[in-house]
Structure 1
Amino acid sequence: MTDALKPLDIDTVQAFVLVADFASFTRAAEVLDTSQAAISLKLKRLEERLGYRLLERTPRHVRLSPQGEQFIVAARALLNAHERALGDMATHAPRRLVIGISDHVAGPDLPTWLSRLAAYDPLVILEVRIASSRDLVAAFDRNELDAVIVRNEGDRQDGEVLAVERLGWFAAPTWQHSSGTPLRVATMAAPCGVRHLAVRALEAARIDWTEVFVGGGVMAVGAAVSAGLGVAALAHRVAPAGAVDVSEQYGLPALPVSEVVLHSRISDARSRETVRALSATFRGVLQR
C-alpha cells in the first residue's frame, strides 16, 4: 500500500490535536499517559505521512503551522466520527462524570477547560458543581462526586497536586487606603479557605480591618474589587481584569501559596483518561 493510501493512525491524530489544544507536548503526554519523546515521534511520523509540517516549535512555544490550522479541522472531525462509532457499542455508551471545581479555582478559564474536555471526549456527560473547596471535599467524601479540583485547605496528602498558585491583595487601580483607618476588605462568606488565610494574615500582622462586602462567589468578590469597594485576597489568575496587586504599596502581609489538588475515585479506564485530560488542562492554565 502506498503512503497516499495508508489510513491515518487514530492515536497519532489524537496526539496531534492534544498538542495543539494544550500548546504543549508535556501536557499531551500527561493525558495519554506516555512520554514526551513518544509524542514527538508520533508527530514526526504524522508530518512525514502528510508531507508537511503541522506544528511550529520553539523552546518556549508550540503553535499550529498554516497547514496545521487546516488539518486540525479534519483531524477533529475524524476523532469525533471515531468516538461516535465507538458509542454505538454498548461498552462505549455515554458516561456521566460528576466533578466539583472550587470557585477560587474555576475563575475565567472554566469555558476553556470545558471546551477542551468536550473535544477530547464527546461521549462524556459532564456534570460540574462549583462551590467552596471545603464543601466539595465533604461531598467527595460522601461519594456524591466522582472527582474534585480544590484548594488544599487541610492536612490531606491523598490528592494529586496540579499547581501551586500565589495569592495577592487586589484592588481597583483608583482604590486608596487612608492611613489610620481600618483596611476595607471584600471577602467570600465563611467558611472559605482563602478568606481564612487572609484574616489570619491580617491579624498576625496586627492590621486593623473591616469587612465591607461579602460575596457568594469569586465573581461577586471580583465585582466588588472592580467597583472600588475594597481590597480582596485572590489568586493572580482569578483577579478581575484591570485589578492591581497592592500588597507592596500598602505594606499588606504576604499570603501563603495555595495548592490546587485533584481528588478522584474514578476507576474505569476511559473515565480515567478523561480525568487525565482534565488534570493536564488545569495544569496548562494554572502554571502559566
Structure 2
Amino acid sequence: MAKAPRQAAWEFFGAELKRRREVAELTQEELGARVFVSGGYIGQFEQAIRKPQSDVAQRIDEILQTDGIFERMCRKLVNDSRYAEYFAAAAELEALAMHICEFEPSVVPGLLQTGEYATAVTLASNSLAPADFIEATVKARLDRAQIIEAAERPTYWGILHETVLRVPVGGPITMARQLDHVAALSRDRKALIQVLPYSAGAYAQMGKTLKLMEFDDAPPTAYTEAVYSGNLLDDPALVKRAQATYDLLRAAALSPEASLTLIESAAEDFRRCASTT
C-alpha cells in the first residue's frame, strides 16, 4: 500500500532532522536535553512515530541553526491537516494509540459521534461557515471514529457526564440515535462507557475535557482542550497527574452496566419527546 502523502512528508522531516543532528555531532540524548524533551522523543521524531509541536521544532532550529526550516515544515504539515491546528498533533497520536481513555463533560466524544450529531455540533460552532467546510469537518470526524470499529481497534474507555445525555443536540431524534449508537458500542464491547451522574456533585477536572493515550512503543500522553486551544502533555509527571485525575472520575462514575441502563433510558426519553411534538 502506498504511503499517505502527509506520512511521507513527516518521514522526510524525520530523516532531515537526523541528518542535521548528525552534522551537528549531537546524539539524540544531547539534542533532546537542549530542547527539553527526552532523547527517546528525538528518536521518535526521526522515525516519524511522533510529530513535534511547533515550539519544539522552533527550539530544534535554534540548536541546529537551521534557519527555521523545521518550524516551517511542522507548521505547514499541521496546517495541511484536516483538523484544527491545536488538535492536529493529538489526532495523529490517537490513530497510533493502543489504549484511549477520555472524559467529556458536555458533548459526546468525537470518536463516538454519529454523522447527524457531528453535523449539529459543527454547525453550532460555525453557523456562518459554507456547506463544504461543514461537510469536510464532519467527514474528518467520522473518519477518525472508524478506529473504534476497526478489527485492530484500541481499547477505549469513555466517561461522559450526565449532561452529555440530556442536552438535545440536533433535536430529540438526533439525540436518540446518537445515544443508541453509544449504547450499541457498549453492548458490543467495542467501548467501555461510564456515566458520571448529576448526583456525583463536584468532580475532578470540572468542566474540562481529558484524553489519555498509551502506545505500544512510546510513553503515554495526555491531551486537554479549552476554547480554540489544546494542550498535549508529554511530561511524565504531568501525565501521571492526569492519570490520577481520570482514576478519580472513574471512581465517581456509575458502573458500566448502570451507565448503559441510563444511556438507554435517556434515548427512550428523547424518542418519547419526538413522538409528542
Structure holding more strand per residue: 1
User: What's the TM-score once normalised by structure 2's chain length?
Assistant: 0.32
Structure holding more helix per residue: 2
Bigger Rg over Cα = 1
User: What's the TM-score once normalised by structure 1's chain length?
Assistant: 0.31
- Larger RCO, structure (CA 8 Å, separation 6 or more): 1
